[in-house]
């Protein structure tokens, strides 16, 4: 049972435009959400997170939006750059838990 779902396996965006990656979750006990980025032959690296008490968190070109009622979050990258081409994983955790539950990942390709 996939508690965190990324329904788009891949996304292609033109350089300079906005990239929007989506993530849905089913477990209402999740209260913290994260995005990780993974390049080939490397481990995932933390990108940005958001607590369930917020609906938006911004860090430079990256913004995460959380819609608790819809159990949906999204990552916006503006403007998209070629170096953003990677696989992006959405992850979630429950209060007090040390472990994360990851989605399937979305491969983002930024075209020049």
Partner 1 sequence: DVKVTQSSRYLVKRTGEKVFLECVQDMDHENMFWYRQDPGLGLRLIYFSYDVKMKEKGDIPEGYSVSREKKERFSLILESASTNQTSMYLCASSLDLGGGRRTDTQYFGPGTRLTVL
Among 24, 25, 80, 105, binds partner 1 (CB under 8 A): 105
Three-class SS of residue 83?
A: helix
12 binds partner 1 per the rule CB under 8 A = no
Where are the extended beta strands (E) located within the chain?
4-5, 10-14, 19-25, 30-38, 45-51, 56-59, 62-67, 72-77, 86-94, 101-102, 106-111
Residue 70-99 contact track with partner 1, rule CB under 8 A, x = bound: -------------------x-x-x-xxxxx
25 binds partner 1 per the rule CB under 8 A = no
Judged by the rule CB under 8 A, the positions of this chain that interact with partner 1 are: 4, 6, 9, 32, 34, 41-46, 49, 89, 91, 93, 95-105
């Amino acid at each position: 049972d996939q508690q965190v779902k990324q329904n788009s396996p891949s996304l292609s965006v033109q350089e300079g435009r906005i990239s929007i990656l989506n993530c849905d979750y089913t477990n209402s006990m999740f209260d913290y959400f994260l995005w990780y980025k993974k390049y080939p032959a490397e481990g995932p690296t933390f990108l940005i997170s958001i607590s369930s008490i917020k609906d938006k968190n911004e860090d430079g070109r990256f913004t995460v939006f959380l819609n608790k009622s819809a159990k949906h979050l999204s990552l916006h990258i503006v403007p998209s750059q070629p170096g953003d081409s990677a696989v992006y994983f959405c992850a979630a955790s429950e209060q007090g838990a040390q472990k994360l539950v990851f989605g399937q990942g979305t491969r983002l390709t930024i075209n020049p």
